[in-house]
A = this chain, B = another copy of it.
């Protein structure tokens, strides 16, 4: 089954198109976990990585029955050097063991041979003296296509070979995303529309039974008008929608990314799930130590919030 169909299956199974963004910061982690690892006699980067692993595992334990996928953001692991990458790798392994799909959020990009190395790192296997080893083993990766098709093709090849997926940046959720992406071309398209057209074209060989392609797009919830236009412009592309919750996107905003069957998009929430204990709605019910239970409650609320908005489109 290709990535697109695995994603559709997981979303239907959980009746939930929302994804847990695992962007851990030490300040999100409750005192009991920190005390446990920082009191061990190890260097502080290693202790920080151990805290992150336990924090992520407890979130995964609390949410794996409710959500289809997790999206660890590589920057928050690279921040802790080699030890951070160990935490990233361990997080992926654990999430997969619990049946979750893993979208590695790395926004990788490079020229052909180097893109191939990234593709093998995240979506394939690395040849070591004739034996192939899996390095990270994610199910999908976010990428940036500023370099054009020969920086993307090596990723698509691994997707086809190993039933993996890609999400290519089209219109990002940040305030200045328009500085380049909204510039208008001579043919009247914006740069993000030109990118959307490339993504549609590149995805045409990996369409699944569910009628979506394994080569999807990233479009921010913070630009609901563009999200709606792009949903129509790229009808076969899964859309990964960041920006719900802490960044300001609402369920009504993200509803535009879905088709009439409730498919076609996954909505990411990071901080609002990881720090649900801190939200107005939950802070009187849960303490910082109850972060995982709070995340579960918020994930169920988010699921219902989005499902209601999608079904009343």
Contact = CB atoms under 8 A, between A and B. Distances in A.
Contacts of A133: 44-45, 81
A6 interface: no
A187 to B, nearest CB: 8
B26 A128 contact: yes
Contact of A151 (B108, B176, B183): B176
A272 interface: no
A211 to B, nearest CB: 26
Interface stretch (A84-92, A259-267, A275-283, A304-312): A84-92
Interface string A167-184: 001001111111111011
Contacts of A23: 114
Interface stretch (A9-17, A55-63, A190-198, A289-297): A190-198
Interface residues of A, number: 69
Interface string A199-243: 000000000000000000000000000000000000000000010
Given A180-B198, A184-B185, A75 B110 contact: yes
Contacts of A179: 148-149, 198
A111 interface: yes
Contact of A191 (B80, B122, B136, B191): B191
A147 B176 contact: yes
B107 A108 contact: yes
A34 B148 CA distance: 36
A110 B107 contact: yes
Nearest to A170: B146
B129 A75 contact: no
Contacts of A80: 121, 126, 135
A131 B38 CA distance: 13
A186 interface: yes
Contacts of A33: none
Interface string A63-107: 000000000010110111110111001000000000000000001
B85 A81 contact: yes
A112 interface: yes
A166 B86 CA distance: 27
Contact of A82 (B86, B131, B180): B86
11 contacts: A23-B114, A75-B108, A78-B118, A107-B109, A111-B174, A112-B174, A146-B146, A146-B181, A147-B180, A180-B191, A183-B191
Given A73-B117, A183-B185, 16 more contacts: A26-B128, A34-B129, A44-B128, A45-B128, A45-B133, A75-B114, A75-B121, A78-B117, A80-B126, A81-B85, A82-B89, A111-B174, A147-B172, A147-B181, A148-B181, A180-B198
Interface of A: 23, 26, 34, 38, 44-45, 47-48, 73, 75-76, 78-82, 84-86, 89, 107-112, 114-115, 117-118, 120-122, 126-129, 131, 133, 135-136, 144-151, 169, 172-181, 183-186, 191, 194-195, 198, 242
